[in-house]
Amino acid sequence: MTSRHPISPLRRWPLQLGALVLAAAAAGTAGAATDTPATPAPRRHDMTSKDLAAASSARRSGHKTFSTEQLLPLLRVSLGDWQRDSLEKPMQRRVAGRVSALSAEYSRGSQSASVGVNDAGQPSTVVAQWSGGPVERAVEGGREKSYKADGRVVTEPVRDANHEASVVFTLANGVSVVAMSQTADTAALKSLIEAMDLASAEKLKR
């Protein structure tokens, strides 16, 4: 479906969304045990296919992942003021390196955002091991803040060069939700994710 506002091609986003989830998880692991800023991570969009294939391999390692039907309620047609413009489900046969289980495009006025939902297949060690307060650090091309709120780890990277904002919510059961946009700020993306039924997603059992 063609949105009323310019958005990045839908098929380009799943890998970028997945790369952002992986980078956020790595950053969270570094910050889970200390408040000291960690070593800067690679740029999210420069994550290699090898990185993504490794994550895909982890998903196929025998861990039971939630089904598309279980995760789909997170991406409702309306999320607060945001309206869903398109939805992409995984192909029957997953492509190596495909990390996001589901991806969708949302718009609100002149703003547009891409959203991805991923399941790691096991409880999040980042959430379980997080101790201490927020961690802020500089990363190549921008900055990043990670913190724990309501039992979830939230990572907020900001790209300075292209004003790209993104937010990752990692739930205790291993489900991650990421939103990315070049027209909406971090607060708007947080409101988009917080409009989802995260509480129900956290209750899913493997």
pLDDT digits (tens, 9 = 90+) for 53-106: 434 554 555 568 898 899 999 999 999 999 999 999 875 544 443 344 799 999
pTM recorded for the entire structure: 0.72
Map out the domains of the chain as residue ranges.
Answer: 10-202
CB 202 within 8 A of CB 171: yes
Q: Using CA atoms in the order 188, 5, 183, 91, what is the torsion angle rounded to 10 degrees?
A: 70
- Tell me what the pLDDT averaged over the chain comes to: 75
Q: How confident is residue 183, by pLDDT bands cut at 50, 70 and 90?
A: very high
**What proportion of the chain, given as a percentage, has pLDDT over 70?**
64
Q: What is the Cα–Cα distance from 69 to 91, expressed in whole angstroms?
A: 14
Backbone φ and ψ of 24, nearest 5°: -65, -40
Residue 93 burial by Cβ neighbours in a 10 Å radius (0-12, 13-18, 19+) = exposed
- Indicate whether 176 pLDDT > 50: yes
